[in-house]
Chains A and B, each alone.
Chain A
Amino acid sequence: MSLVLILLPLLAGAVLFALPATDRTASRAIGCVAAAITFLLPLVSQGDGNVTAHWLSRPFTASLHFAWSGISFWLVLLLALCTFCAILSTNMNRPRVMIALLLMLEGSMMGVFTARDVLAFALFWDLMLIPPFFALVGWGGHRETAWRYLIYNFAGGLLLLLATAAFGVIYGSTDVIGTSHQLLGAWAPWIFAAFAFAFAVKTPVFPLHTWMPATYADSPPPMVSVVSAVQSKAGVYGLLVICLPFLSAAMAQTRWIFIIMGLVSLLYGAYVALVQTDGKRVVAYSSLSHLGLIILGIFSLNPIAIAGVIVYIVAHGLFSAALFLILGYVEQREGTRSLTRLGGLGAHNPKLAGAFTIAALGALGLPGLAGFAGELVILTGVFKAGLFWPALIALIPIVLASAYMLRLLQDIINGPEVADIPQRADLTLTEALALAPLLAALVVVGCYPHALLSTGFSAMPSVAAAPAAVVGERP
């Protein structure tokens, strides 16, 4: 069942190449249908679409095992939704190829999120680097951006490979995602280190982030919306489903390193976003900041924080996807993303302004929207885990977030109208439709994160198993 999620988009992407190169409507239709199916399938079908096939028996047991249980379920939905919206809003030269790339990206990432086997996970992990690379080659402004994205992430992927091999040899099987067992011994810290590097690069976390702003700024909007919304979550997902259940002892030993890295990312991203003049870079650095919060939450090793992380993963996915799409619309209309050049769009584009406002508010953690629920629960958990100062420091970026997000919002849609930009028409119906589901989900998740939270609590078998020091409840 879950193979459909992987194969359908890939096949659809391949089919598109049969169409004429300039075609837009047909490819859009095909793409949207494929994405929609991948979205509805997990919702309507009973069970978790478990599929498994034997793969390796030596040097360790591995099987092509896929299912969408637990956290995967939400990421699958998020991915399908973002892809749907991205495809719907694809409106550039050579649209057919872009849509095909989006579909391939979806397929490969479906593999990452549904894989129950670390080896399969690693397989799709590398695979999902390729579509964005081609998007950067085809549409990106600078050549080295593509290289930076690819090489940086592939370096991570290689260490993931090494870690996977070591994990398999030590544990005897890689068909483990969804189960839990403390891996101890001299190897564990090294395996964890390798995993952590791969995940940290992908997320990204502070010292390893430099591929990210350039990539986000250069990629075409539909691609970057999916990459930032979902692909950047692959690292976090890995931490949750591989490191937490198997290596939380090692995590506990090194937690302070990551807590500090998370805090630095939080502050660093926020401060840098404060002074960027390229709209996309503002959002890019804000993502760095937000994902820092997620890292902080995970390494607090507290069930509540982890539950919040799940909410925040989805929330960030929704609003960053929406923001990038909107910035794409703006750039397409006005031919620039520079906050210094834009202004006063609100007067003529009320729909754009409205959507933009909701997305930005979601990003700055307005109470009642998804972002807030995530932040609040994460930090509640972090504090409960006894991390007083991290919780306190993590509040500063929230204030900064309101500052830079409002700056982004107001510099573009408020203020007097700017004479020397085209001031083109308001959102078309398609564009509005592409945003609507994201924003609606933002509100719904903001009020009713119950399901996500409960997933989060159930995603934590290992913490219960881990030493008490790990869980660090306040005495």
Chain B
Amino acid sequence: MNNLFTAQDWNAVAPLFIVGCVALLVLLADLAAPKHANRYVSIGIGIAGLAAGGVYAGMQYYAPAYDAFGGGFINGGFTIVFEEIIIVAAMFSLAMCANIGRADRMAGVTALILWSTSGAMLMAGAANLMTIFLGLELLSLALYCLCGLSDRPAAQESALKYLILSSTASGFLLFGMALLFGASGSVLLSALAAPALAANPLYWIGAGLFLVGLAFKLSLAPFHVWSPDVYEGAPLPITAFMSVVTKAGTLAVFARFAYGAVPHASSSPLLIPFFIVAGISMIVGNLGMLAQTDIKRLLAYSGIAQIGYVVAALAGTSALGVRYAIYYLVAYTFMNLGVFAIAALSSSDNEEGSRIASFQGLAHRRPVLAAVMSLFLLALAGFPPTAGFLGKILILSTNVGTGFAWLAGLLIAGTAISLYAYFKIIRLMYEPHVRPHETVRAAAPLAYVSVAVCAVVVIVMTFYPFTPSNVLPLVK
């Protein structure tokens, strides 16, 4: 009984357990820490814990893939890459907390962020329906609370909306899982690839409802309706966290399902609707950006479109596709978080720097910051020399190669639409007319560091494209 699971099993899940347990450590430390410093104590410990988890996971990167806990969790390149993405995003979000939100709540917030992170990390490796479900719920439950953690009525509203809608979606997901279980008689994804299932309607309906749940979490149109409101309402760092972590985790699950749990996937019509909604969200997301006045809301729509691009890369489930999806996801992580970090920097109490108007004339107040901001926006718009540019090239070539040219076309159309929205902000920053100086809080150096890191990565990735080779999402 006690030699049922070997050390290998525990190694696989150790990173997420480290992160989860550090959360408890944060809570304890908060009791001990002096009141004036507790904000930084919590953030410090949190980031340290995340780093530890990241390092631990990273050390196993080159080990061959294997599944732990009887297929509950698969460790391997794919899992670890996603874990790293998630961890980095969590770190940046914590760094942003440095000057936003109430200090006395910081410990709890940090803990919740960490648990949410560990939930996403679980999704990254989850290979059976239970772990998928639990990871998803761990991630979401923490996020419901985090969204509501502000005195602004908008925040509470966003929490309520997120909770109700997300639970409904989870209902669909769960029901789908039940049907999948019924069809295959097993909760393992690997069991779902059995060719016999291709003819089983239970399997099909189950897969359908399952994908609905994933599409909701990825906020693909038309399941995106929640994200603009929630992003706008939630506190800035939480929005940043959500915009990457939720999507990364869910994308990992989807990739695993698409690559491992679909009978002869590349030719099967089973995934087509998912790619169709990806295409729709490229258009819808970019259109939604056009007349926004709140940067968080704008980024919500932008995220809808961007994740559409990422999913498009998986169309045809080619071996290269997943690598480019990861490349673009990483690019998206950094350019997106870069914008959030700058918004956090230029944030003041009354409005968390989230009103686009507050960027007006930024180039005259803080030229460097404005330049970097422009860089991130250019990247989101797919302008060179940024990772966004190369990422689009890679996705386009995948689509052309796998015969999904229509997705490529939609990608082009969507990007063309998005240009105006992104450049509107740039123009605003460089407009000669300067509005009265904002009361900008003295920001923590941490925030500057994260901005710098994002900027460097976004450029470097263009010329040293990072497309790891051992990231095929195996299920067995």
- A interface with B by C-beta (< 8 Å): 17, 55-56, 58-60, 64, 119, 122-124, 126-127, 130, 133-134, 137-138, 143, 146-147, 150-151, 154-155, 158-159, 161-162, 164-166, 168-170
Contact = CB atoms under 8 A, between A and B. Distances in A.
Nearest to A134: B430
The 6 lowest CB-CB distance pairs between A and B, nearest first, are A165-B396, A165-B397, A123-B384, A59-B397, A158-B412, A166-B400
Interface of B, secondary structure class, is: helix
Interface stretch (B107-115, B264-272, B413-421): B413-421
B465 interface: yes
A439 B385 CA distance: 36
Contacts of A155: 416
A140 to B, nearest CB: 11
B467 A162 contact: no
Nearest to B414: A158
Interface stretch (B148-156, B332-340, B387-395): B387-395
B427 interface: yes
A165 B382 CA distance: 14
Interface string B365-396: 00100000000001000111100010011101
A324 B392 CA distance: 37
A55 B384 CA distance: 15
B398 interface: yes
Contacts of A137: 427, 430-431
Contact of B408 (A64, A151, A165): A165
B10 interface: no
B5 interface: no
A137 B398 CA distance: 37
B427 A127 contact: no
Given A123-B389, A130-B378, 8 more contacts: A122-B393, A123-B462, A151-B420, A158-B412, A161-B412, A162-B396, A166-B400, A170-B400
A69 to B, nearest CB: 23
Contacts of B378: 130
A137 B360 CA distance: 14
Contacts of A56: 465
Contacts of B382: 158, 161
> Which of B385, B400, B432, B465 has the largest number of chain A CB atoms within 10 A?
B400
A130 B374 CA distance: 11
A329 B270 CA distance: 66
B69 to A, nearest CB: 34
Contacts of A124: 384
B299 interface: no
A197 to B, nearest CB: 11
B400 A161 contact: no
Contact of B383 (A59, A60, A127, A147): A127
> Which of B389, B397, B409, B465 has the largest number of chain A CB atoms within 10 A?
B397
B427 A58 contact: no
A161 B416 contact: no
13 contacts: A55-B463, A59-B401, A123-B462, A126-B384, A127-B384, A137-B431, A151-B419, A161-B393, A161-B396, A162-B409, A165-B396, A166-B400, A170-B400
Contact of B427 (A146, A158, A168): A146
Nearest to A129: B383
Contact of B412 (A64, A151, A162, A168): A162
A165 B430 contact: no
Contacts of B367: 17
B404 to A, nearest CB: 12
Contact of A150 (B409, B419, B467): B419
B320 A58 contact: yes
A119 B393 CA distance: 9
Interface of A, secondary structure class, is: helix
B397 A60 contact: yes
A155 B382 CA distance: 12
B401 A169 contact: yes
Contacts of A122: 384, 393
Contacts of A130: 378, 383
A165 B397 CA distance: 5
Given A58-B467, A146-B427, A169-B397, A158 B432 contact: no
Contact of B393 (A64, A151, A159, A165): A165
B430 A158 contact: no
A427 to B, nearest CB: 30
B408 A162 contact: yes
Nearest to A164: B393
A146 B367 CA distance: 21
A164 B408 CA distance: 12
B379 to A, nearest CB: 12
Contacts of B323: 58
A444 to B, nearest CB: 36
A445 B401 CA distance: 46
Contacts of A166: 396-397, 400
B419 to A, nearest CB: 5
Contacts of B400: 165-166, 169-170
Nearest to A191: B400
Interface string B410-449: 0010011001100100010011100000000000000000
Contacts of A60: 397
A395 to B, nearest CB: 39
Contacts of A119: 393
B470 to A, nearest CB: 14
A168 B398 CA distance: 11
Contacts of B462: 123
Nearest to B367: A17
A59 B431 contact: no
Contacts of B324: 59
A159 to B, nearest CB: 7
B397 A150 contact: no
B423 A59 contact: no
Nearest to B323: A58
Contact of B385 (A127, A138, A168, A170): A127
Contacts of B423: 133, 147, 150
A150 B420 CA distance: 9
Nearest to A56: B465
Contacts of B465: 55-56
A123 B416 contact: no
A59 B416 contact: no
A64 B463 contact: yes
Contacts of B431: 137
Contacts of A154: 416, 419
A169 B398 CA distance: 8
Contacts of A162: 396, 408-409, 412
B126 to A, nearest CB: 28
Contacts of A138: 430, 432
